[in-house]
Structure 1
């Protein structure tokens, strides 16, 4: 009961800190982590210990699936070079550099443990960065790169992490020996994620009860992760491919009532998991520090601080070097100043968070240098959240990016197409109700607001025929690449609300 009461107090405190963070325009993960540190230092505070095998599944699986669902494949394809350079090269450089630094200071540390440390420190966490990016509306391309990186670099880094742990158990680590397993796991996980998404979409399609559908969605999310792990595949890659594939289904394939309620539930749950995870970051400070004698503790803290500097510098250096080299190979003229600003922004938005901490806590008990890895992970996560997290917004304001209206323009295109499809459908009907709806939809079209409920129309069956036509229109725009998922999801939600309003009106008539 005492643990339950502690959790309630933590959630209430985290909610207050989140509100304070929004008022101060700072990323809420930073304040949550610092708040967790304060709570952990209070004498008598109980510790929240979770089984290592549960941590990654509980915190990473639903957050990754939610991010994959909102990711635009079109935008990823347009920016595949910088995203891939961060997912593969930046992760690889960080892993190798951190492993070399750790071995330099701790020569007795096994290579497998050093590589596992580098791999779990490699993936930046997008939650903190995007919390700031949404406040200042950066260029859409920067946001796309950071979102795509955060979605995919977890897969590359955690796959290296998993192979390193296996190498420690086997007693040796060989890059050449790990590559075939890396390729096999990547291919198998991709195929499994795609196949399971196709099956689950078909299973969920006929379900019209929102609570039932939402429960099945969460069970499926954790089930996909567990099945992948049991098959020896990568849970991260499988869940990412699963989410990307499932998100490509047409908007008419799911019930609007189910989608509206389940989306709201997912938003709340993923926020709660992030709150718990970042609070857990701070709560780990006491057992980590208490694990070492005073003299050893300060020595290891110095090594962890050096690794923190390495993690920040390697990412920033790679982004700047890659961008400069790419500029030299381009034949067309580019705006060098704007490119340099964008790279500086991307390079500095490298805060570590939930994935790094979860991977460190998930190390098996008895893993070589586990306490040092936990100390270093905590230092890097808290250090980047505080230093980079608190300076990211001022940096964005100082860089003074031009206003980017790409999403707003695509949103207007999607709304216009949806309304034109509705007008075409109404032209097929005769009568006063159809004429009245035409007039009202023309007004809505001039205002570019598809979510507006036409007033005065009593024929709800007409509205229920109009909405599917609008859905087909935005499906076509997304499939052709004319709009991305940001605009698509916004109009999809407006159509859902319009359809629900017609049902409510029909029920009250």
Structure 2
């Protein structure tokens, strides 16, 4: 009952926040914190495994469905830098400083547990704010891609750190080998389940059943990978990529239905997670009192860790993205050109004579501008993974003794999550406005060009099918009827009164239906082919595919309404 009330309350707050133009996640957290101090209030308790297994997989899977694999590959360098390297750097920096300052009695091993918990950002709020304020598409792609893989790196490190402190055994003792095994087997499990899902869908041919099956995929991928001691997060992400790229095999009803189902599920789970975070503040403080910990010392330690988390990301982002800009500026300033014969320039860089390979040519090597780098450096809000990992610290070690400083680590992690949500969440929108970083004009121009390309591809594909229909007309119909069918299809079926009754089993109805499906199939196949060849942006292709789905749905509904 408590969980239902939390969900209902979170949805109500979300609706009010949307009406007032506020960020729902931040308002939900604030309302949850206030509610936690009401007399007699009891917060709902969920096992950490439930949080990780029920909440995280669908959020990741939904993001992967909407995030194209070509876009992921194109931005792989900054995504890996932020999603893997920065997570490791943050975790070890927090561990080193926390153990060295000795504000609270943490050894390096227990401090590393804390570092792994607070290392992964949750990009839900940042992406929502960026979308609302019109951040450039590349920045949005980097933030979304980072959120898909940083959880895997953090959870793998968390598993190793907890095993070291608790004295338990992991599947593979060597942490490097364990990380490599997890990073290889997890995606393999996700890919296998993704292709199995597509194979099953081709045989279901039922939108309701296909949607239900899709809801099972993220949980199956996560659990299967975890049972093999691999990364469930990566399994879910790869399964989402595979299913998302193969949805053309499903009917238009399935695609449209899934789109709205996953959007509704995202809103529900995100609202619940932020409400859950806010509602537990009072109880985290009570746990500290029961453990006889000094609230002042924990507050100081929390402030220090929060400062590290806030500072390490801008520094790392500058080193990753600003270093290339600085080196190029120095190279231009020194005015020492790279010799044509392949010698070295001012900074000792060689001229590349070897052409880029296929995969390298797909990667976007452009550096972010300083404004974009500033925004990316301030999008480090923590969320569901930090909360779930903190709750997942075992109560006891292998020898039966209590896990050292468990309540302290959880309190610091909780404080960091709430602190980043409030500090960065509230200041990110004015920062974006102050920097005047809006890619809307450039993006709109780019989108118009890509949309025109997609429209040309769609029209050319339809013309090809219609030309073949004209050259090889089916037998048994009057030429005037064939011309009428061809012209109606060519007008994209805007007038339902000219269309045949779908239930009328006549030759004319069969020919019309077959030709219309052939045109749509050719248009979709041409769009995918051009996208895979790198000729059209994936977002433009997805938008055009959705237009075709809506067009088919509209035509079908108009036809059926005549019965």
CA distance in 1, matches of 2:283, 2:416: 17
**Residue 358, structure 1, aligned to residue 388, structure 2:** yes
1:274 positional shift? 0.9
What is the aligned counterpart of 2:42 among 29, 43, 46? 46
Aligned residue number for residue 543 of structure 2: 490
Q: 1:268 to 1:94 in 2, by over 3 A?
A: same
Q: Is the 8 A contact 1:112 1:167 kept in 2?
A: yes
What is the aligned counterpart of 2:464 among 415, 418, 424? 424
Q: 1:102 to 1:171 in 2, by over 3 A?
A: farther
What is the aligned counterpart of 1:18 among 4, 14, 18? 14
Q: Normalized against structure 1, the TM-score is what?
A: 0.90
**Residue 229, structure 1, aligned to residue 226, structure 2:** yes
What CA deviation, in whole Å up to 9, does each residue of 1:405-460 have, x standing for no partner?
2344323322332233223323324411312432x24xxxxxxxxxx845554145
**Residue 326, structure 1, aligned to residue 324, structure 2:** yes
Aligned residue number for residue 524 of structure 2: 471
Q: 1:338 to 1:245 in 2, by over 3 A?
A: closer
CA distance in 2, matches of 1:326, 1:31: 39
1:282 positional shift? 0.5
Bigger share in helix? 1
**Residue 27, structure 1, aligned to residue 23, structure 2:** yes
CA distance in 2, matches of 1:68, 1:237: 10
What CA deviation, in whole Å up to 9, does each residue of 1:351-407 have, x standing for no partner?
111121122122223343221222112111111111111111111111113523234
Q: Is the 8 A contact 2:378 2:428 kept in 1?
A: yes
**Residue 122, structure 1, aligned to residue 158, structure 2:** no
Aligned residue number for residue 75 of structure 1: 71
CA RMSD of aligned residues (A): 2.6
CA distance in 1, matches of 2:196, 2:456: 33
Aligned residue number for residue 449 of structure 1: none
Aligned residue number for residue 370 of structure 1: 406
Instruction: Give the 3-state SS of the residue equivalent to 1:404 in structure 2.
Output: helix
Compare 11-20 and 351-360 and name the one that shifted more. 11-20
Aligned residue number for residue 33 of structure 2: 37
Q: Is the 8 A contact 2:103 2:297 kept in 1?
A: no
What CA deviation, in whole Å up to 9, does each residue of 1:156-197 have, x standing for no partner?
111111222222232699x99311111122111122222221
Q: Is the 8 A contact 2:26 2:421 kept in 1?
A: yes
1:323 positional shift? 2.1
Aligned residue number for residue 299 of structure 1: 297
What is the aligned counterpart of 1:434 among 476, 486, 491? 486
CA distance in 2, matches of 1:88, 1:53: 23
Aligned residue number for residue 423 of structure 2: 387
CA distance in 2, matches of 1:409, 1:30: 37
1:107 positional shift? 6.8
1:71 positional shift? 1.5
Moved segments of 4+, more than 6 Å: 331-334
Segments of structure 2 that go 5 or more residues without pairing to the other structure are 334-365, 397-402, 471-481, 501-511
Aligned residue number for residue 289 of structure 1: 285
Q: Is the 8 A contact 2:381 2:420 kept in 1?
A: yes
1:110 positional shift? 4.1
Q: 1:488 to 1:337 in 2, by over 3 A?
A: closer
Q: 1:108 to 1:330 in 2, by over 3 A?
A: same
CA distance in 2, matches of 1:137, 1:454: 37
1:387-466 equivalence runs, <5 A: 387-401=423-437, 402=439, 403-405=441-443, 406-427=446-467, 428-429=469-470, 430-438=482-490, 440-441=491-492, 453=494, 456-459=497-500, 461=513, 462-466=515-519
Compare 476-485 and 95-104 and name the one that shifted more. 476-485
Q: 1:170 to 1:273 in 2, by over 3 A?
A: same
1:253 positional shift? 0.6
Instruction: Give the 3-state SS of the residue equivalent to 1:292 in structure 2.
Output: helix
1:328 positional shift? 3.6
Aligned residue number for residue 264 of structure 1: 260
Instruction: Give the 3-state SS of the residue equivalent to 2:38 in structure 1.
Output: coil
What is the aligned counterpart of 1:213 among 207, 210, 213? 210
1:295 positional shift? 6.8
